[in-house]
Structure 1
């Protein structure tokens, strides 16, 4: 009897059934874990988003304190259409740029955050574009003149470590501080990431690139100018800044 039992457990059918049972058990455990962790993951992503928005205006915080400071410094959250008009019934924080950029400009929602820090007003614009391997994204804030950059935050989904992935580093982000997005004629130029740019001027619409990351740098340049142009109608109607028709 013992020999038959041993033979039975060594049979192909036993192995097959055991494998199926284990797959089902593991699948159920993973599904339960994913479902249980989903609210926590959502909350972490939400807090990180607040952190990044605040970082563009110089407000640093950990995740735990992000929401309180976000509510303190972000005075308005609005959504614009492509003509710069405010849209009703759309929550700026819930707009998913990954989905929006697949639509035509006429169909897109353009979220805008208006912050007030130490008596100064800043306009914070979400960014999304294409890097070398996958999407790049972030936020950029403009001072009240809607021309001077206060700060920027960048991130990515798959850029090369040590090269394109360096766009997340503070030293790269600081290069954008005080840069202008319009030229002397009032035309929207954005900020170009240019290899070998050693100029210290903040009026040349250029910053130095990351060595070996030309395509990612070009993606950052294109992302900034492409996203900002959709906000021109709003800035023209709401501010006293005289910008050209781009």
Structure 2
């Protein structure tokens, strides 16, 4: 009787074992790649953060020059508590607003960057809030009167391309230039993104919205006023402008 030869490579057990081995190998390779690239990714994120902070005061740079210019123009980095007092032992650059916003306001850290550009002082406040689909964030720089906006930068996690995602565009950012964050009564109201606001006035605390992106625009408005109000005690100590007593 003729004996049949079984091809082991066609057996179910072989296929199963081969699949497991390949999954393990691929997993190890991916884990090694991720671990190897992590320091570079972290460094790129740090430099991009520096670029965004510098952009609010009109200093543009690529990633290669970010560290040098950041060290040149950012003269002070502090972290404030909710009373506007400087906290010791906390690095402003390492404060993660996504984590801070989960805490009660009186427990949060409020980072602040102070820049000196051609002899003029600017106060740069990190921002974070909610857009239509996910988080929005950025930075806003105030001139030394802590009332007039020097510049702003915005970014997002998942806003709609061509609509809410347009908050990253330079033309939208520049709408905030020279706007005021205090109204005529000395109330800190921030800068509101308002549909149909075609006024060229820089004293109305408003900029024109992006068509079709109302919710994202409202998120930008809320983010600016909510974050800046936490810095109000500090602003009061740094300026003689009219500020309402809250």
TM tier, smaller: over 0.9
Q: Deviations over 1:122-159 (max 9, x none)?
A: 00000000000100000000001111000000000000
TM-score (norm 2): 0.97
Unmatched tracts of structure 2, length 5 or more: none
Q: CA deviation at 1:245?
A: 2.5
Unaligned runs of 5+ in 1: none
2:132 pairs with 1:162: no
2:116 matches 1:116: yes
Deviations 1:60-106 (A, max 9, x none): 00000000000000010000000000000000000000000110110
Match of 1:4 in 2: 5
- 2:190 is paired with a residue of what secondary structure? coil
1:242 CA drift (Å): 2.8
TM-score by length of 1: 0.97
Q: 1:130·1:223 contact (CA, 8 Å) conserved in 2? A: yes
Count of aligned residue pairs for this structure pair:
245
Give 2:134's aligned residue.
Answer: 134
The aligned residue for residue 236 of structure 1 is 236
What's the counterpart of residue 62 of structure 2?
62
1:201 aligns with 2:235: no
| 4+ long deviations beyond 3 Å | none
CA-based RMSD of the aligned residues comes to: 1.4
Q: How does 1:3-22 map to 2 (within 5 A)?
A: 4=5, 7-22=7-22
Find the counterpart in structure 1 of residue 226 from structure 2: 226
Q: Secondary structure at the match of 1:82?
A: coil
The answer for the alignment partner of 1:30 in structure 2 is 30
How much does 1:12 deviate? 1.1
CA distance in 2, matches of 1:245, 1:221: 22
